[in-house]
A and B are shown apart, each in its own frame.
Chain A
Amino acid sequence: MRTRPDRPAAPGPRPRQALTAAAGVTTAVALVLALVVAPPDAVQGEAQRWMYLHVPAAWSAYLCFAVVLVACLPVVRHDAARPRAVARAAAETGVALTALTLLTGSIWGAQTWGTWWVWDARVTTTVAMGLVHVAFLATLALATTRRARRAAGLVGVLGFLMVPVVHLSVVWWRTLHQPPTLLAPGAGAPIAPVMAWTLGVCVLACTLLTAAALLTRVRSGAPHDAVVPARPAATAPAPRPQATP
């Protein structure tokens, strides 16, 4: 029942199209707000606009890894096939967004910190979060038995532990990265209302885009299962690691 191939792998075209349309409209509004309406920062100048891509990308990566966690629970329990496809799509999207976070952070850092890359706790744990999920994808691709797939699901569940570590790394350790402004433990830091609004719309746009990408990926990736040894040309879904030292 769960693996019946004719069953649609995700919501049909109409909800998906509505989601894609909402994502498109929100993204257009977000771009105008981030590039035109929001003022440059008093200290960082125009470079601060990278925040409107960097923060949503990081948030969406967290969200993807939360989806991996939830989807992997039934995989661990009884090797569920559909949640496994969702977990794989979410991990792939999450790894791509982690790479985008590191890339935008690097450019922003070059313009404000004065360096492209530092191995401070925030950057180090973010790279580790990406690598853990690359390892999860590889484990999933290699799992051909029920037992192995359940073990891979456990990697996906435990991998989520990296999310709070990354988010709180700037609080737990002294980093070059500044502490959080909005999702901060205790009181956050002051941010001009227009900047907060812009960031909010950007986060919403990125979340919708991520959801649309995830659904598309689940649909296209659902028929594929583990890479079987008999078919050497079969697709291995694990992407290349994005940032290794």
Chain B
Amino acid sequence: MSVKRCFNRYSCGVLFCMLMWGIVHAQEISPIEKAAREGYSKRFTDSTASIQIQLNALRLAEEKKSKADQAICQAYLAMTHRRLLHLKEFTRYAEQSYHIAGTTSDARAKAFASWAMGSLKSYIEDKSRALDYMLEAYGLFTKLEANDLCARIGADISYLFSPGSEEKVKKYADAALAYAEKTGEPENILHARLAVGSYLSDRTASGDHGQWQEAVTFFRQTIELAEKEETKIISKSNIGIAYINLAVLYLNSHKPTDEQAFLACLEKASHIAQQYDLKNVYRSAIGLRGQFFLEKGEYRIAENLFKTGIAYQQALPYKDNYLLAAFYGCLKDLAAREKDYAAYYAYDIPFVRYNQLKYDESTQQMLQNADARFESDKKITRISQLEQENQLQKKNKLLGYGIAAVLLTGLVFMYRSYYYRQRYYQNREDILQQQQANNELRMQLMEKETLESLAEKLSLERRLLQSQMDPHFIFNALGNIQGMILQQDTALAVAYLSKFARLSRRVLEHSRMEKITLEEEIETLKNYIELQQLRLNKGFDYHIECETSIDPQLLLPPLLIQPFVENAIEHGLKPLASSQRGLLSIRFHEQSNEHILVCTITDNGIGLTESRRRKTHDSHRSLSTKITDERLLLMLKDNPHTRLEVREQPVTDGQGTIVTLYIPII
């Protein structure tokens, strides 16, 4: 997993979660709106008081029967609840605001209401609707010359257009910055600059140095401004985000990274994060630092940072599985680079767990958002239906007065009962249709998921072949054949060549198959081991033992075992001093009630700790272990007993490594 991207995405997420402030232009602002705005500005510091003040303002607006003010107060309340992540209240206030604003002709109220609705749609990831509302609000506020809100919404629109339309992303971000500069408020300017910075950063993905330099300069200026005006900025997280984004730019620059600048940014970000308790900024800073030291090869520092990040997250009152999975993923990566397989598998367990939780969570979130989208659409149709009904009722009333004078009231009742019955059936049908639509959406989501897992499987298969036929092994084998020929040992050369050809053919065939028999797997293993024996001049012995009760025709996924045998030979047996005779033993037994074949690979090589100490660079072997790992993870879905254990032989039994694979029987 690309961790860098993951932290990047994280800071983007922070950007989206950021909320707005409301220092509104002085003209035509009612005292009630001022009160609501005042309450809204307290949302970072004291959320209870913030909501209380806004509710008071709303009550006042209701008492004064000012619909415009009601809509504005509700819009502010909606935005406050967004900041508190209360989706239900957020939805309720945004919709009420939009509904009430619809009954007035007040442009300001309409603008606020559209803004709240746009924000809601963006929150539930309905981008196209969000853009409709936001553009409406933007247009209205532009006419009203409310520069601060134009700046605010312009930036939001810019984010919404990303990554689809580069041109519009730029246009709205630039416009937002122009509006923000008109207000002269550092708060507004910083927010708009983040939007501009965001597209400048995105552009650097192409690797152009000039554009990178431009983005860095821009963020440096932004930070300068933020530092100077720190006291006037309410959302401190924006300052932290500016530092984080600049650090990401440094990290993504052409190597070597400007270490000092990078670390200084993160230092500042952490400082602000601690001062104002900005958890997201703090975690991003830890993660980025860890990523940096990991790439630099300072594994101990990186490991400590990732562990600190995990401990920090665990101490928080809420879980963030996305982040925890990312941290454990980094630790896994680190262990793989260090060839510390024991640690690798130890980190793998929490990684898998959090990944699963994250996956469940995001599926749930997706469904929840889909539900919210559906509910919200339904409500809007209901509102217009009710309005129509109301009008009809009014008409009916008028008609009723007229007719009542002339006709029997019974007739009217008959008509109305007929009308309502029709309506009732119509409504029921509508609801059924909507339910069906909802179900279809769920089906689509599920289908997407299946497709994704299929794609995952396919790409794994492709890489499987690559991992099995280690190019290093191939060319060394050819080199050995050359040696035999040059030494004029024709018989040996011919035997070796046939073995090599047989192995290549088998691996090619097996990598395309879903399952093979145990017998075939054992044959391939023998073939592989004998080649290695010849190569290492019979430096080790081997035996393969299979419990007699096992049916040699049972089926299992192909090519799972070989990477571990390869590890045992290359890292365990090959480095042994020539005085010590190597021994490799492979045992199979069955746990039939769990549909598991247990394969134990034991060697008397130099052992994990020693191998780790000598750690020699080998990217192929970490690749093949990683792929086996991903394959085992996929199999885990079908058989929960799938597992892998790596441990060191107890000293009393001599040195060496024991790998135990629990392979699902198909």
Q: Do A and B bind each other?
A: no
